[in-house]
Protein backbone atom coordinates (compact mmCIF):
# COMPACT_ATOMS: atom_id res chain seq x y z
CA UNK A 1 0.00 0.00 0.00
CA UNK A 2 1.50 3.30 -1.12
CA UNK A 3 0.17 6.63 0.13
CA UNK A 4 -0.91 8.82 -2.81
CA UNK A 5 -1.10 12.62 -2.92
CA UNK A 6 -3.15 14.26 -0.13
CA UNK A 7 -6.69 15.50 -0.88
CA UNK A 8 -6.59 18.70 -2.94
CA UNK A 9 -8.46 20.58 -5.62
CA UNK A 10 -7.91 19.49 -9.21
CA UNK A 11 -8.25 16.31 -11.19
CA UNK A 12 -8.61 13.20 -9.06
CA UNK A 13 -5.89 10.54 -9.18
CA UNK A 14 -6.70 7.77 -11.70
CA UNK A 15 -8.82 4.98 -10.20
CA UNK A 16 -6.92 2.35 -12.21
CA UNK A 17 -3.36 2.21 -13.53
CA UNK A 18 -2.09 -0.56 -15.78
CA UNK A 19 1.47 -0.54 -17.10
CA UNK A 20 1.06 -3.57 -19.38
CA UNK A 21 1.91 -5.98 -16.57
CA UNK A 22 1.00 -4.52 -13.19
CA UNK A 23 -2.37 -3.26 -11.98
CA UNK A 24 -2.81 -0.61 -9.28
CA UNK A 25 -6.07 0.84 -8.06
CA UNK A 26 -7.11 3.66 -5.79
CA UNK A 27 -8.63 2.14 -2.63
CA UNK A 28 -12.19 3.54 -2.66
CA UNK A 29 -12.94 2.28 0.86
CA UNK A 30 -10.81 4.98 2.46
CA UNK A 31 -11.65 8.04 0.31
CA UNK A 32 -11.97 10.87 1.37
CA UNK A 33 -9.97 10.19 4.55
CA UNK A 34 -6.98 8.97 2.58
CA UNK A 35 -5.83 8.33 -0.96
CA UNK A 36 -4.14 4.95 -1.05
CA UNK A 37 -2.94 3.08 -4.10
CA UNK A 38 -3.10 -0.72 -3.86
CA UNK A 39 -1.33 -3.11 -6.20
CA UNK A 40 -3.37 -6.15 -7.31
CA UNK A 41 -0.96 -8.93 -8.24
CA UNK A 42 -3.27 -11.83 -9.12
CA UNK A 43 -6.78 -12.60 -10.35
CA UNK A 44 -7.73 -13.50 -6.80
CA UNK A 45 -6.42 -10.13 -5.55
CA UNK A 46 -8.66 -8.50 -8.17
CA UNK A 47 -11.68 -10.59 -7.16
CA UNK A 48 -11.13 -9.68 -3.50
CA UNK A 49 -10.78 -5.99 -4.37
CA UNK A 50 -14.07 -6.08 -6.27
CA UNK A 51 -15.88 -7.97 -3.50
CA UNK A 52 -14.64 -5.65 -0.75
CA UNK A 53 -15.38 -2.43 -2.72
CA UNK A 54 -11.74 -1.38 -3.06
CA UNK A 55 -12.87 -0.93 -6.66
CA UNK A 56 -16.53 -0.52 -7.51
CA UNK A 57 -18.96 0.97 -10.02
CA UNK A 58 -20.15 -1.24 -12.87
CA UNK A 59 -17.90 0.04 -15.70
CA UNK A 60 -14.77 0.13 -13.51
CA UNK A 61 -15.48 -3.38 -12.21
CA UNK A 62 -15.49 -4.51 -15.86
CA UNK A 63 -12.19 -2.79 -16.65
CA UNK A 64 -10.46 -4.17 -13.58
CA UNK A 65 -11.86 -7.68 -14.07
CA UNK A 66 -10.49 -7.62 -17.64
CA UNK A 67 -7.04 -6.86 -16.26
CA UNK A 68 -7.52 -9.60 -13.66
CA UNK A 69 -7.91 -12.05 -16.52
CA UNK A 70 -4.85 -10.57 -18.27
CA UNK A 71 -2.79 -11.14 -15.11
CA UNK A 72 -4.16 -14.69 -14.85
CA UNK A 73 -3.17 -15.44 -18.46
CA UNK A 74 0.35 -14.10 -17.84
CA UNK A 75 0.65 -16.26 -14.69
CA UNK A 76 -0.64 -19.51 -16.22
CA UNK A 77 -2.26 -19.63 -19.67
CA UNK A 78 -3.54 -23.20 -19.29
CA UNK A 79 -7.25 -23.90 -19.79
CA UNK A 80 -7.85 -24.94 -16.18
CA UNK A 81 -6.07 -21.94 -14.65
CA UNK A 82 -7.95 -19.52 -16.91
CA UNK A 83 -11.29 -21.17 -16.11
CA UNK A 84 -10.53 -20.95 -12.37
CA UNK A 85 -9.56 -17.28 -12.60
CA UNK A 86 -12.70 -16.49 -14.60
CA UNK A 87 -14.90 -18.29 -12.07
CA UNK A 88 -13.29 -16.46 -9.15
CA UNK A 89 -13.76 -13.09 -10.82
CA UNK A 90 -17.33 -13.74 -11.99
CA UNK A 91 -18.41 -14.71 -8.49
CA UNK A 92 -17.01 -11.56 -6.85
CA UNK A 93 -20.26 -9.57 -7.20
CA UNK A 94 -23.48 -10.60 -8.98
CA UNK A 95 -25.31 -7.45 -10.07
CA UNK A 96 -23.10 -5.36 -12.38
CA UNK A 97 -23.37 -6.87 -15.89
CA UNK A 98 -19.93 -5.54 -16.81
CA UNK A 99 -18.12 -8.04 -14.60
CA UNK A 100 -19.06 -11.24 -16.42
CA UNK A 101 -19.12 -9.38 -19.75
CA UNK A 102 -15.46 -8.34 -19.39
CA UNK A 103 -14.30 -11.68 -17.97
CA UNK A 104 -15.98 -13.60 -20.80
CA UNK A 105 -14.52 -11.27 -23.44
CA UNK A 106 -10.94 -11.63 -22.21
CA UNK A 107 -11.33 -15.38 -21.64
CA UNK A 108 -12.64 -15.87 -25.19
CA UNK A 109 -9.77 -13.82 -26.64
CA UNK A 110 -7.23 -15.93 -24.74
CA UNK A 111 -8.79 -19.28 -25.58
CA UNK A 112 -8.93 -18.37 -29.29
CA UNK A 113 -5.13 -18.60 -29.62
CA UNK A 114 -2.33 -21.06 -28.77
CA UNK A 115 -1.17 -21.22 -25.15
CA UNK A 116 2.04 -19.28 -25.75
CA UNK A 117 0.05 -16.39 -27.27
CA UNK A 118 -2.64 -16.19 -24.61
CA UNK A 119 -0.95 -13.68 -22.30
CA UNK A 120 -0.61 -11.16 -25.14
CA UNK A 121 -4.14 -11.82 -26.44
CA UNK A 122 -5.66 -11.38 -22.97
CA UNK A 123 -3.68 -8.21 -22.33
CA UNK A 124 -4.75 -6.77 -25.69
CA UNK A 125 -8.42 -7.52 -25.04
CA UNK A 126 -8.33 -6.07 -21.52
CA UNK A 127 -6.67 -2.90 -22.82
CA UNK A 128 -9.31 -2.69 -25.56
CA UNK A 129 -12.05 -2.88 -22.92
CA UNK A 130 -10.52 0.02 -21.01
CA UNK A 131 -10.12 2.11 -24.19
CA UNK A 132 -13.68 1.34 -25.36
CA UNK A 133 -15.02 2.18 -21.92
CA UNK A 134 -13.35 5.59 -21.98
CA UNK A 135 -14.71 6.32 -25.47
CA UNK A 136 -18.18 5.14 -24.42
CA UNK A 137 -18.10 7.51 -21.45
CA UNK A 138 -17.34 10.50 -23.65
CA UNK A 139 -20.11 9.58 -26.12
CA UNK A 140 -22.82 9.02 -23.52
CA UNK A 141 -22.00 12.26 -21.76
CA UNK A 142 -22.61 14.20 -24.98
CA UNK A 143 -25.98 12.53 -25.47
CA UNK A 144 -27.09 12.89 -21.86
CA UNK A 145 -26.32 16.62 -21.79
CA UNK A 146 -28.78 16.98 -24.69
CA UNK A 147 -31.40 14.81 -22.98
CA UNK A 148 -31.23 16.88 -19.79
CA UNK A 149 -31.64 20.11 -21.77
CA UNK A 150 -32.45 23.03 -19.49
CA UNK A 151 -32.32 21.11 -16.17
CA UNK A 152 -29.94 22.89 -13.81
CA UNK A 153 -30.84 21.54 -10.35
CA UNK A 154 -29.91 17.87 -10.47
CA UNK A 155 -30.16 15.08 -7.93
CA UNK A 156 -27.89 12.04 -8.06
CA UNK A 157 -27.41 8.83 -6.09
CA UNK A 158 -24.34 6.72 -5.41
CA UNK A 159 -21.14 7.49 -7.32
CA UNK A 160 -20.90 7.53 -11.11
CA UNK A 161 -17.88 9.63 -11.99
CA UNK A 162 -14.36 8.53 -12.91
CA UNK A 163 -14.07 6.52 -9.70
CA UNK A 164 -16.95 4.31 -10.82
CA UNK A 165 -16.25 4.23 -14.52
CA UNK A 166 -12.66 5.16 -15.35
CA UNK A 167 -11.80 8.14 -17.51
CA UNK A 168 -15.12 8.55 -19.32
CA UNK A 169 -17.45 8.53 -16.32
CA UNK A 170 -21.23 8.39 -16.64
CA UNK A 171 -24.00 10.28 -14.79
CA UNK A 172 -21.68 12.40 -12.65
CA UNK A 173 -19.55 13.31 -15.65
CA UNK A 174 -22.74 14.45 -17.37
CA UNK A 175 -23.38 16.78 -14.45
CA UNK A 176 -19.84 18.20 -14.51
CA UNK A 177 -20.05 18.62 -18.29
CA UNK A 178 -23.32 20.55 -17.85
CA UNK A 179 -21.72 22.74 -15.18
CA UNK A 180 -18.90 23.63 -17.57
CA UNK A 181 -21.51 24.99 -20.00
CA UNK A 182 -24.03 26.50 -17.60
CA UNK A 183 -22.97 28.37 -14.44
CA UNK A 184 -26.27 27.66 -12.60
CA UNK A 185 -25.82 23.88 -12.31
CA UNK A 186 -26.19 22.61 -8.74
CA UNK A 187 -26.19 19.01 -7.52
CA UNK A 188 -27.95 17.38 -4.60
CA UNK A 189 -25.87 14.34 -3.67
CA UNK A 190 -27.65 11.50 -1.83
CA UNK A 191 -25.36 10.05 0.80
CA UNK A 192 -26.18 6.49 -0.36
CA UNK A 193 -26.38 4.33 2.72
CA UNK A 194 -25.12 1.85 3.68
CA UNK A 195 -21.56 2.43 2.51
CA UNK A 196 -21.97 6.09 1.57
CA UNK A 197 -20.60 6.22 -1.96
CA UNK A 198 -22.37 9.57 -2.42
CA UNK A 199 -21.14 11.14 0.81
CA UNK A 200 -17.59 9.81 0.53
CA UNK A 201 -16.85 9.60 -3.18
CA UNK A 202 -19.22 11.86 -5.13
CA UNK A 203 -18.64 14.86 -2.87
CA UNK A 204 -14.87 14.22 -3.11
CA UNK A 205 -15.04 14.24 -6.91
CA UNK A 206 -17.34 17.29 -7.06
CA UNK A 207 -15.19 19.25 -4.60
CA UNK A 208 -12.12 18.58 -6.72
CA UNK A 209 -14.02 19.86 -9.75
CA UNK A 210 -15.13 22.97 -7.86
CA UNK A 211 -18.78 22.10 -8.50
CA UNK A 212 -21.73 23.57 -6.63
CA UNK A 213 -23.24 20.74 -4.57
CA UNK A 214 -24.93 19.81 -1.29
CA UNK A 215 -25.02 16.47 0.47
CA UNK A 216 -28.42 15.19 1.62
CA UNK A 217 -29.53 12.08 3.48
CA UNK A 218 -31.26 9.62 1.19
CA UNK A 219 -34.57 10.13 2.98
CA UNK A 220 -34.56 13.85 2.12
CA UNK A 221 -34.67 13.29 -1.64
CA UNK A 222 -38.43 12.70 -2.10
CA UNK A 223 -39.40 15.76 -0.06
CA UNK A 224 -36.99 18.04 -1.91
CA UNK A 225 -38.25 16.72 -5.25
CA UNK A 226 -41.84 17.34 -4.16
CA UNK A 227 -40.92 20.83 -2.96
CA UNK A 228 -39.81 21.69 -6.51
CA UNK A 229 -36.07 21.87 -5.72
CA UNK A 230 -34.98 19.35 -8.36
CA UNK A 231 -35.30 19.65 -12.15
CA UNK A 232 -34.13 16.11 -12.97
CA UNK A 233 -32.64 12.99 -11.39
CA UNK A 234 -29.61 11.49 -13.15
CA UNK A 235 -27.94 8.24 -12.09
CA UNK A 236 -25.84 5.38 -13.48
CA UNK A 237 -26.88 1.73 -13.69
CA UNK A 238 -25.48 -1.72 -13.04
CA UNK A 239 -27.67 -3.96 -15.19
CA UNK A 240 -30.62 -3.23 -17.47
CA UNK A 241 -32.90 -6.05 -18.65
CA UNK A 242 -34.26 -6.43 -22.20
CA UNK A 243 -37.57 -4.77 -21.24
CA UNK A 244 -35.82 -1.67 -19.86
CA UNK A 245 -36.10 -2.43 -16.14
CA UNK A 246 -32.91 -1.14 -14.53
CA UNK A 247 -30.92 -2.22 -11.46
CA UNK A 248 -28.87 0.41 -9.67
CA UNK A 249 -27.70 1.18 -6.13
CA UNK A 250 -30.35 0.57 -3.48
CA UNK A 251 -32.49 3.67 -3.06
CA UNK A 252 -32.67 4.48 -6.75
CA UNK A 253 -36.22 3.09 -7.11
CA UNK A 254 -37.51 5.39 -4.37
CA UNK A 255 -36.05 8.41 -6.18
CA UNK A 256 -37.71 7.25 -9.42
CA UNK A 257 -41.10 7.00 -7.69
CA UNK A 258 -40.67 10.49 -6.28
CA UNK A 259 -39.60 11.88 -9.66
CA UNK A 260 -42.61 10.30 -11.37
CA UNK A 261 -44.98 11.64 -8.71
CA UNK A 262 -43.67 15.16 -9.31
CA UNK A 263 -43.38 14.83 -13.09
CA UNK A 264 -39.64 15.48 -13.37
CA UNK A 265 -37.30 13.50 -15.69
CA UNK A 266 -35.51 10.43 -14.34
CA UNK A 267 -32.49 9.54 -16.48
CA UNK A 268 -30.11 6.57 -16.36
CA UNK A 269 -26.68 6.95 -17.98
CA UNK A 270 -24.31 4.04 -18.61
CA UNK A 271 -22.57 1.93 -21.23
CA UNK A 272 -24.30 -0.77 -23.30
CA UNK A 273 -21.98 -3.25 -21.56
CA UNK A 274 -24.35 -2.84 -18.58
CA UNK A 275 -27.35 -4.03 -20.64
CA UNK A 276 -28.13 -7.73 -20.28
CA UNK A 277 -30.54 -8.63 -23.07
CA UNK A 278 -30.59 -12.26 -21.89
CA UNK A 279 -32.89 -11.21 -19.03
CA UNK A 280 -36.44 -10.55 -20.12
CA UNK A 281 -37.28 -8.35 -17.13
CA UNK A 282 -35.79 -6.79 -14.03
CA UNK A 283 -37.32 -9.55 -11.89
CA UNK A 284 -34.53 -11.81 -13.16
CA UNK A 285 -31.69 -9.50 -12.11
CA UNK A 286 -29.65 -11.00 -9.25
CA UNK A 287 -29.60 -8.49 -6.41
CA UNK A 288 -26.48 -8.69 -4.27
CA UNK A 289 -27.11 -9.06 -0.53
CA UNK A 290 -24.13 -7.75 1.41
CA UNK A 291 -22.86 -8.14 4.95
CA UNK A 292 -25.04 -7.02 7.86
CA UNK A 293 -22.12 -5.04 9.28
CA UNK A 294 -22.54 -2.46 6.48
CA UNK A 295 -25.96 -1.57 7.89
CA UNK A 296 -25.17 -1.90 11.59
CA UNK A 297 -22.20 0.42 11.23
CA UNK A 298 -21.99 3.90 9.68
CA UNK A 299 -18.88 6.02 9.41
CA UNK A 300 -16.93 3.72 11.74
CA UNK A 301 -19.57 3.73 14.52
CA UNK A 302 -22.01 1.03 15.54
CA UNK A 303 -25.48 2.55 15.01
CA UNK A 304 -27.63 -0.39 16.13
CA UNK A 305 -27.35 -3.22 18.59
CA UNK A 306 -24.38 -5.34 17.48
CA UNK A 307 -26.67 -8.25 16.61
CA UNK A 308 -29.71 -6.39 15.20
CA UNK A 309 -31.18 -8.51 12.37
CA UNK A 310 -30.48 -6.85 9.04
CA UNK A 311 -31.46 -6.94 5.37
CA UNK A 312 -28.84 -5.46 3.09
CA UNK A 313 -29.78 -5.60 -0.60
CA UNK A 314 -27.12 -3.52 -2.37
CA UNK A 315 -29.29 -2.72 -5.41
CA UNK A 316 -32.91 -2.29 -6.41
CA UNK A 317 -34.79 -2.42 -9.70
CA UNK A 318 -36.56 0.56 -11.24
CA UNK A 319 -39.31 -0.52 -13.67
CA UNK A 320 -38.99 0.80 -17.22
CA UNK A 321 -42.20 2.82 -17.01
CA UNK A 322 -40.64 5.12 -14.40
CA UNK A 323 -37.59 5.86 -16.55
CA UNK A 324 -37.67 8.93 -18.80
CA UNK A 325 -34.57 7.96 -20.78
CA UNK A 326 -31.71 5.47 -20.69
CA UNK A 327 -28.63 7.03 -22.25
CA UNK A 328 -25.74 4.94 -23.62
CA UNK A 329 -22.79 5.48 -25.93
CA UNK A 330 -24.80 3.95 -28.78
CA UNK A 331 -27.90 6.08 -28.40
CA UNK A 332 -30.82 6.98 -26.16
CA UNK A 333 -33.78 4.75 -25.30
CA UNK A 334 -36.78 7.10 -24.82
CA UNK A 335 -39.35 5.91 -23.97
CA UNK A 336 -37.67 2.93 -22.36
CA UNK A 337 -39.15 -0.36 -23.56
CA UNK A 338 -38.20 -3.64 -25.25
CA UNK A 339 -37.96 -2.04 -28.71
CA UNK A 340 -35.88 0.98 -27.74
CA UNK A 341 -33.50 -1.15 -25.64
CA UNK A 342 -33.07 -3.66 -28.51
CA UNK A 343 -32.23 -0.76 -30.84
CA UNK A 344 -29.22 0.13 -28.65
CA UNK A 345 -27.60 -3.27 -29.04
CA UNK A 346 -25.34 -4.39 -31.88
Torsion angle of C-alpha atoms 111, 342, 277, 105, degrees rounded to 10: 20
User: Quick one: 122 or 156, whose CB is closer to ligand MRU?
Assistant: 156
User: Quick one: 97 or 109, whose CB is closer to ligand MRU?
Assistant: 97
Query: Cβ 306 to ligand MRU, closest distance in Å?
Result: 24
Looking at residue 223, the DSSP 8-state letter turns out to be: H
In angstroms, the CA 261 to CA 223 distance is 11
In angstroms, the CA 111 to CA 13 distance is 34
User: Quick one: 35 or 316, whose CB is closer to ligand MRU?
Assistant: 316
Q: Give yes or no: 238 in active site.
A: yes
- β-pairing, 239-241 vs 213-216, is unpaired
For the chain, the distance separating the N- and C-terminal CA atoms, rounded to the nearest angstrom, is: 41
In angstroms, the CA 259 to CA 280 distance is 25
Rg (CA), the chain: 19
Q: Which residues bind ligand MRU (CB under 6 A)?
A: 56-59, 96, 158, 160, 164-165, 170, 197, 235-238, 248-249, 270, 314
User: Quick one: 260 or 287, whose CB is closer to ligand MRU?
Assistant: 287
Q: What is the number of the residue whose Cβ is closest to ligand MRU?
A: 236
Query: Cβ 50 to ligand MRU, closest distance in Å?
Result: 9
Query: Cβ 103 to ligand MRU, closest distance in Å?
Result: 16
Candidate list 27, 238, 276, 316, residue with the active-site label: 238
Query: Cβ 56 to ligand MRU, closest distance in Å?
Result: 3
Phi-psi region for residue 331, left (φ > 0), alpha (ψ -120 to 50) or beta?
left
- β-pairing, 239-241 vs 275-276, is parallel
Which residues carry out catalysis?
Answer: 238
Amino acid sequence: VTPAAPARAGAAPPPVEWDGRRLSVLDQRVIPRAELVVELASASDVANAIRSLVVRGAPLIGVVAGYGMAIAAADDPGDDALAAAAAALRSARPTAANLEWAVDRVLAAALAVAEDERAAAARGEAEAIEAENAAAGAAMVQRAVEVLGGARRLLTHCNTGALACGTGGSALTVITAMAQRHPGVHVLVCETRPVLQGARLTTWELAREGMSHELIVDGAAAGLIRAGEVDAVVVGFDRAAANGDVANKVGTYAHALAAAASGIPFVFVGPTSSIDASLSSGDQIAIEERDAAEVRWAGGALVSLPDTPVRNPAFDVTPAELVTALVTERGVARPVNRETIAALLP
